[in-house]
């Protein structure tokens, strides 16, 4: 429904359907302009509900005929519903309809891309293929017959196992697939295209044989090795860590270049955005390799957490997403190996959480991990549901330990395999599998993590009594208005003045319990008493980021420096580095003064950079400044330009003051030998890239040609994309005179590779603003022949990167960024509402902006809201922003 009134759907209104569907027998005659769909359904009366008409979902479909038990029946079509007066018994329903894949630019349902057919059914795309009870609690067994032109579409795929295939008249062929596992319609998938596959046969622990296939366009086969390796590693890991085997004879992955998200876990037939699948050393960076490994794992892990046990309704989305992100994170950490590499993974997770989820949770789209209402479910595939949801799953593991968590997961599958369930069912299984645990005794308190929006603020203050050797730590929590206290595990330790770990001994106990513990904050305020503390300690709190909260620990610079140098917890060492930077940047912003970094800070950073034991990857993270979005969250009133100016000044001073150290770091972290995407090599490259970027920055400011020249040379002859792109980024972000030539060279070299050209757009959209040049460039790039709003990757590379992730360039006193945003949201919305609605979210936090930004942002929002043709997707975002 494009126009009309927003229909709000509430979690508490859930009702089981009047009918179930046991089997689906689907035939698709694939034609880009008019695909004919014949659907034969075994419909079962749900005796628990009163009898009523059968109301099926359907969108942008043309109905041809409807038959019950072989007899044509009448039906009413009203908006996106098809109503049939169905009998009060089981029956067979046959529906024939058509749809138009080539006009489907929304990329939901059945659509064409690169001359092939692909589907995307989560969340509500199946109803754009045929009329159905398109809701996740209706689970059916599917048999699917595909018919299509054999030359154009030699590969015909659907879920499950291939039963039959063969030729038909008129140059056509067919394939018949059967999926033995009952599944909700959102896991249905079809592919018909000219593709080739990398294949691998494996035998799993149980002794069963499986065929793994990765399908891509001809020419991309050499970029599928990493995905295949990641898939095999995921299969092995899930069996070893959680005892969850691959339940299919055949597991297929297909790449497609037009896709709204990263990838989709359709049963046995995962469909991937090529950006989340294809990698070669020449075209993908270390970060791409890492992301592909994580997404391949994520989709594979959904096979149990999502597919075998699915969601009762879409309010339960985090049941599968939070849990599966948690699982892919655990996998990535295990793959990374060393404790330091694990810590780096955790650091990157938290950086992303703070830059995206924290602002979301404080902005106009704030919602609990399990939302209570929505207008458009597509708007709730959010950082809160995914990333905060994963943090919440992590809390179970922190409370129960690894074994207790694994027991809980086992019970969850014993109870719910084959069912569509709720977040409450998951929590209950975790508690019941661990009787006597804190979780079991405080389950209701714990579940507030699902029901309350907002990021809890924890304040910690310590008090040391030198005479009695007592140390008292007072913790308090403040949640949003009207919200209740939550159960917050605070992993912690105490450090002495020389950084030594102090033994922890509770009041009333005779001995210490090691040097690390988890405090459970469950009330608004609590005090924890330690005894036998012989020296004044520095508390190291929230180690490993043990809960997704904002912590105010009031630590002094000296204490932060102590943690930075000595904490046994690598995460908190990093956190200290971030806090030292954050305090300085915010200090300058609040005072309205230019930032001047002090010698103590610069010396500390130099010590990190030169440290003989720390890993390069950790150093690169510790030396990076906090994200602008996270800095903004610390302020009541946000002037994005003031933050931008301070961050730029900080980078320049770090570049200049540590110049000799960066030169050393660059030379000392070159990787020799062939490219490997290992954590260790990637860490060296990350630090060398950071060094190069700061050297180019300092040189450009002083007009020295050597480092920009070296960077330019690297753009030309690096033998891997990580180094090449790092060098290009160094030139572009320093606004070096050679940047344009380097960009042109890079573009010419990769003109044929869409994923690399996406990077080229992204880099320019994300460049730090200088005198409006970035904004001007983005406007010009909108006219570039390679730019198109039709491909979501391309639209995202330029527009989302600029509007949502480049605050220093986007927020302009002349409102130019906002005008561009409103125009592009409107254009994109006419093509692809889901993509447009992500772009629309650039304004989530407009209300905290300082003037003149705030007023101008409001005008742009209002202008957009006035348009009569907005999709539900965009309208929901814009309406909430203006509420
Ligand atoms: N369920 C997919 C995932 O997280 C994401 C997705 C949602 C993809 C909606 C497409 C559409 O793995
Ligand atoms: Zn997922």
Model confidence pLDDT, tens digit, residues 849-866: 999 999 999 999 999 999
Angle between helices 679-702 and 640-657 (to 10 degrees): 100
What DSSP designation does 180 have? E
Q: Confidence class of residue 3 from pLDDT cuts 50, 70 and 90? A: very low
Q: What is the pLDDT of residues 193-207, one digit of tens each?
A: 999 999 999 999 889
Alpha-carbon distances of 129 from 109, 173, 232, rounded to whole Å:
6, 21, 33
Mutating to test ligand 1, I would choose from 125, 134, 136, 263 the residue with most ligand atoms within 8 A of its C-beta, which is 263
276: burial class by Cβ within 10 Å (0-12, 13-18, 19+)? buried
**What is the percent of the chain with per-residue pLDDT over 90, rounded to a whole number?**
98
Q: How many CB atoms lie within 10 A of CB 505?
A: 17
430-487 confidence digits (pLDDT tens): 999 999 999 999 999 999 999 999 999 999 999 999 999 999 999 999 998 888 999 9
- Does the interface predicted TM-score (ipTM) exceed 0.95? yes
Which residues fall within 8 angstroms of residue 481, CB to CB, at 6 or more apart?
A: none
Pocket test for ligand 1, best of 261, 320, 387 (most atoms within 8 A of CB): 261
CB of residue 387 inside a 6 A radius of ligand 1: no
Span from the CA of 295 to the centroid of ligand 2 (angstroms): 8
Atom 3, ligand 1: residue with shortest CA distance: 264
In sequence order, what DSSP letters do the residues of 646-712 get, joined into one string?
A: HHHHHHHHHHHHTHHHHHHHHHHT---SS----HHHHHHHHHHHHHHHHHHHHHHHHT--HHHHHHH
- Hey, is 403 helix, strand or coil? helix
CA 275 to ligand 2 centroid distance, Å: 16
* CA-proximal residue: ligand 1, atom 5 (nearest): 264
Q: Give percent above pLDDT 70 in the chain.
A: 99
Per-residue pLDDT, 512: 87
Report yes or no: 668 and 636 within 8 Å, Cβ to Cβ: no
Q: pLDDT-derived band of residue 2, with 50, 70 and 90 as boundaries? A: very low
Question: Could you tell me if the CB of 299 is within 6 A of ligand 1?
Answer: yes
Q: Is the pLDDT score of 1 beyond 80? A: no
Counting from 1 in the atom list of ligand 1, the atom nearest the Cα of 299 is 12
* Beta carbon of 328 within 6 Å of any ligand 1 atom: no
3-state secondary structure of 492: strand
Q: Is the CB of 318 under 6 A from ligand 1?
A: no
Identify whether the C-beta of residue 369 lies closer than 8 Å to the C-beta of residue 449: yes
Dist. CA 559–CA 574, nearest whole Å: 14
Q: Which residues pair with 20 in a beta bridge?
A: 44
The predicted structure's pLDDT at residue 389:
99
Tell me the mean pLDDT in the region 550-574: 98
Which ligand number lies closest to the CA of residue 321? 2
Please say if the pLDDT value at position 347 is more than 90.
yes
Residue ID of nearest Cα to ligand 1 atom 9: 122
| Low-confidence winner among 1-15, 157-171, 599-613, 750-764 (lowest mean pLDDT) | 1-15
- The C-alpha atoms of residue 83 and residue 19 are separated, in whole angstroms, by 13
pLDDT surpassing 80 at residue 770: yes
For ligand 1, atom 1, the nearest C-alpha belongs to 264
Q: State which ligand 1 atom lies nearest to the alpha carbon of 298.
A: 12
Residue nearest to atom 8 of ligand 1 (CA): 264
Give bridge partners of residue 21 from the DSSP assignment.
43
Active site residues: 299
687-734 pLDDT, tens digit each: 999 999 999 999 999 999 999 999 999 999 999 999 999 999 999 999
Instruction: Find the Cα–Cα–Cα–Cα dihedral 865, 869, 874, 880, rounded to 10°.
Output: 30
Q: Is 120 in the pocket of ligand 1 (CB under 6 A)?
A: yes
| CA proximity to 53, closest of 100, 97, 85 | 85
Residue range 636-666, pLDDT digits in tens: 999 999 999 999 999 999 999 999 999 999 9
The ligand 1 atom at the shortest distance from the C-alpha of residue 125 is: 11
Look at residue 5 in the predicted model and tell me its pLDDT: 62
Rounded to the nearest angstrom, the gap between the alpha carbon of residue 589 and the centroid of all alpha carbons in its chain is 30
Residue 112 has φ and ψ, to the nearest 5°, of: -105, 150
pLDDT at residue number 508: 87
Q: Is the CB of 263 under 6 A from ligand 1?
A: yes
Instruction: Give the Å distance between the CA of 750 and the centre of ligand 1.
Output: 29
Q: Are 331 and 297 in contact (CB under 8 A)?
A: yes
The rounded Å distance from CA 362 to ligand 2 centre is 24
Residues measured by CB to lie within 5 Å of ligand 2, the ion: 321, 324
Nearest-CA residue for ligand 1 atom 12 is 264
pLDDT in tens, 70-118: 999 999 999 999 999 999 999 999 999 999 999 999 999 999 999 999 9
123 CA closest ligand 1 atom index: 9
What mean pLDDT value characterizes the chain? 98
- Contacting residues for 783 by C-beta, under 8 A, at least 6 apart: none
User: d(Cα 843, Cα 818) in Å, to the nearest integer?
Assistant: 9
Confidence at residue 277, expressed as pLDDT on a 0 to 100 scale? 99
DSSP 8-class letter at 797: I
- CA 296 to centroid of ligand 2, rounded, Å: 10
User: How far is residue 719's CA from residue 725's CA, in Å, rounded to a whole number?
Assistant: 11
Ligand 2 center to 322 CA (angstroms): 8
Q: What is the pLDDT of residues 354-386, one digit of tens each?
A: 999 999 999 999 999 999 999 999 999 999 999
Q: Which of 107, 122, 387 maximizes ligand 1 atoms within 8 Å of its Cβ, making it the mutation to test the pocket?
A: 122
Q: Cβ(122) to ligand 1 under 6 A?
A: yes
* CA proximity to 634, closest of 351, 348, 359: 359
Report residue 524: phi and psi, to 5°. -65, -40
**Contact predicate 360/383, CB 8 Å:** yes
CA atoms within 13 A on the CB side of 716: 10
**What are 127-155's pLDDT values in tens digits?**
999 999 999 999 999 999 999 999 999 99
* pLDDT computed for residue 432 by the predictor: 99
Please give the C-alpha separations between residue 33 and each of 30, 112, 117, 152, in angstroms, as whole numbers: 9, 10, 11, 14
Chain Cα centroid distance, residue 751: 28
- Helices then strands, counting H and E runs in the chain, come out as 31, 32
User: If we measure between CA atoms, which residue out of 688, 661, 657 comes closest to residue 672?
Assistant: 688
pLDDT exceeds 70 at position 417: yes
Q: Determine the Cα–Cα distance for residues 23 and 43; give it in Å rounded to an integer.
A: 8
């Amino acid at each position: 429904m494009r126009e009309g009134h927003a229909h709000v759907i509430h979690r508490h209104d859930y009702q089981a359907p009047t009918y179930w569907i046991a089997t689906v027998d689907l035939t698709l005659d694939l034609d880009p302009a008019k695909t004919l769909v014949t659907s034969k359904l075994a419909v079962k009366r749900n005796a628990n509900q009163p009898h009523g008409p059968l109301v099926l979902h359907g969108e942008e479909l043309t109905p041809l005929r409807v038959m019950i038990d072989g007899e044509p029946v009448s039906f009413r079509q009203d908006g996106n519903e098809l109503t049939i007066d169905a009998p009060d018994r089981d029956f067979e329903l046959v529906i024939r309809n058509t749809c138009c894949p080539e006009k489907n630019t929304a990329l939901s349902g059945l659509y064409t891309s690169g001359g092939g057919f692909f589907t995307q059914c989560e969340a509500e795309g199946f109803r754009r293929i045929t009329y159905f009870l398109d809701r996740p609690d209706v689970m059916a067994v599917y048999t699917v017959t595909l018919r299509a032109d054999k030359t154009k579409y030699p590969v015909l795929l659907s879920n499950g196992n291939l039963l039959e295939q063969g030729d038909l008249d008129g140059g056509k062929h067919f394939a018949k697939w059967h999926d033995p596992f009952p599944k909700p319609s959102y896991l249905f998938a079809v592919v018909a295209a000219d593709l080739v596959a990398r294949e691998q046969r494996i035998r799993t622990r149980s002794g069963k044989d499986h065929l793994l296939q990765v399908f891509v366009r001809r020419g991309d086969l050499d970029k599928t090795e990493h995905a295949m390796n990641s898939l095999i590693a995921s299969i092995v890991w899930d069996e070893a860590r959680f005892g969850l085997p691959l339940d299919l004879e055949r597991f297929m992955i297909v790449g497609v270049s037009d896709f709204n998200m990263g990838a989709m876990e359709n049963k046995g037939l995962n469909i991937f955005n090529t950006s989340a699948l294809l990698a070669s050393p020449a075209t993908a960076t270390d970060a791409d390799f890492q992301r592909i490994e994580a997404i391949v794992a994520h989709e594979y892990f959904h096979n149990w957490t999502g597919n075998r046990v699915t969601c009762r309704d879409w309010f339960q989305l985090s049941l599968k997403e939070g849990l599966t992100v948690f699982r892919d994170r655990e996998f990535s950490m295990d793959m990374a190996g060393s404790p330091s590499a694990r810590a780096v993974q955790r650091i990157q997770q938290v950086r992303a959480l703070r830059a995206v989820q924290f602002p979301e949770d404080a902005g106009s789209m704030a919602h609990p991990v399990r939302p209570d209402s929505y207008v458009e479910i597509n708007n709730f595939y959010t950082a809160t549901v995914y990333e905060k949801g994963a943090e919440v799953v992590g809390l179970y593991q922190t409370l129960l330990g690894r074994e207790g968590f694994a027991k809980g997961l086992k019970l969850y599958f014993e109870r719910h395999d084959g069912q569509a369930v709720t977040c409450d069912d998951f929590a209950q299984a975790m508690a019941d599998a661990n009787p006597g645990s804190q979780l079991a005794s405080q389950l209701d308190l714990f579940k507030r993590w699902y029901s309350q929006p907002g990021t809890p603020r924890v304040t910690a203050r310590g008090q040391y009594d030198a005479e009695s050797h007592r140390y008292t730590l007072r913790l308090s929590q403040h949640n949003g208005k009207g919200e209740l206290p939550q159960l917050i595990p605070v992993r912690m330790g105490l450090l002495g003045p020389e950084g030594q770990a102090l033994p922890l001994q509770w009041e009333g106990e005779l001995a210490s319990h090691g040097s690390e513990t988890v405090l459970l904050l469950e009330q608004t305020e609590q005090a924890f008493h330690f005894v036998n503390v012989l020296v004044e300690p520095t508390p190291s709190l929230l180690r490993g980021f043990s809960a997704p909260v904002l912590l105010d620990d009031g630590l002094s610079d000296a204490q932060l420096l102590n943690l930075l140098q000595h904490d046994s917890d690598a995460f908190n060492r990093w956190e200290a580095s971030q806090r030292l930077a954050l305090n300085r940047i915010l200090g300058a912003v609040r005072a309205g003064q230019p930032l001047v970094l002090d010698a103590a800070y610069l010396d500390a950073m130099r010590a990190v950079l030169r440290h003989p034991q720390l890993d390069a990857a950790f150093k690169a993270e510790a030396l990076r400044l906090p994200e602008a979005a996270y800095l903004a969250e610390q302020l009541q009133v946000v002037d994005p330009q003031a933050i931008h100016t301070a961050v730029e000044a900080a980078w320049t001073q770090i570049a200049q003051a540590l110049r000799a150290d960066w030169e050393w770091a660059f030379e000392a972290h070159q990787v020799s030998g062939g490219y490997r995407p290992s954590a260790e090599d990637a860490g060296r490259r990350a630090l060398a890239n950071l060094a190069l970027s700061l050297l180019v920055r300092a040189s450009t400011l002083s007009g020295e040609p050597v480092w920009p020249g070296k960077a330019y040379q690297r753009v030309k002859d690096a033998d891997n994309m990580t180094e090449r792109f790092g060098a290009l980024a160094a030139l572009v972000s320093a606004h070096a005179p050679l940047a344009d030539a380097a960009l042109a060279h890079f573009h010419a070299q990769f003109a044929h590779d869409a994923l690399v050209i996406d990077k080229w757009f992204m880099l320019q959209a994300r460049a730090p603003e200088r005198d409006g040049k970035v904004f001007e460039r983005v406007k010009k790039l909108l006219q570039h022949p390679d730019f198109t709003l039709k491909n979501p990757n391309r639209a995202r590379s330029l527009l989302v990167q600029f509007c949502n992730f480049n605050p220093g360039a986007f927020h302009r006193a002349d409102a130019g960024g906002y005008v561009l945003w409103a125009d592009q949201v409107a254009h994109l919305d006419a093509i692809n509402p889901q993509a447009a609605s992500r772009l629309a979210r650039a304004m989530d936090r407009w209300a905290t902006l300082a003037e003149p930004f705030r007023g101008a942002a409001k005008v742009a929002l209002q202008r957009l809201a006035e348009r009569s043709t907005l999709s539900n997707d965009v309208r929901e975002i814009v309406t909430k922003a203006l509420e």
